[in-house]
Structure 1
Amino acid sequence: MVAKAKRIRPTKEQAQELNHRLDAVVDAGHISNLYCDCEICQALAKQAELMGYRTNSTIKQPSDKWDRRKQEKEKRHQVDLVKVANLAGQGLTSAEIGGKMHRSKSYINKVARDFDIKIFTKKER
């Protein structure tokens, strides 16, 4: 069994340097990109590895799986949007729409809120 190396607490200067590098990454706007290979992000990765926060700073390539899942989700939302709009036009409540579409009431309300669809709260007789 391989013993894990104990991380040494960074000095105040090292912590400040890491914070400066983090600020530079945030200023560059690269906070949501896991696979960035720019100089700023690489400097942050190297600094984190030197301080023991990260064991492997190699850049991984993104897989197509996440792009595919994102596209499938967007398609599903577009189809649901049309269905919600049609059922809301018939005067159904969000609970009734959710029952017909086999989706939760909170999901129906979220779609309606995102696309400004008016859903009746009470069914008028």
Structure 2
Amino acid sequence: MTKEIPEIDDLMKGINDSDLVLNAEAQEADHAETIAGASTSLPDGIDKCWENFLTYLETEDTRENKEDRLVCKLDRDLADSLDDCDIHNRCRSDLVNAIVRAFFEAFLPQLAKYRREKKSLFMNFKEG
């Protein structure tokens, strides 16, 4: 039972190899081009939603009263993913608000079907 030990030249293959480094850089460039190409070939509706998101994100800092914000819990994977995004140097809350506003703008007619009825006792109260 003898184990075959590879030759030293086989083990050193690729170390300080300029062809290997250049090949890796070329693959990264191809990957970046693929990502850039994918973002430009979005359907019109999604492209408009993306533009609305960016617009809301840009105008988010002009809102005077950020104290009116409420707490909403996000799944950890979503929160981590948003934290990994650096879009206009905005915080997670700004990103979530812009995403939800863009979604509402795009799908308000569909969302209206699911609107809850107000069931307050004050609905039919008339001051007399």
TM-score (norm 1): 0.32
Larger Rg: 2
Which structure is higher in RCO with an 8 Å CA cutoff and minimum separation 6?
A: 2
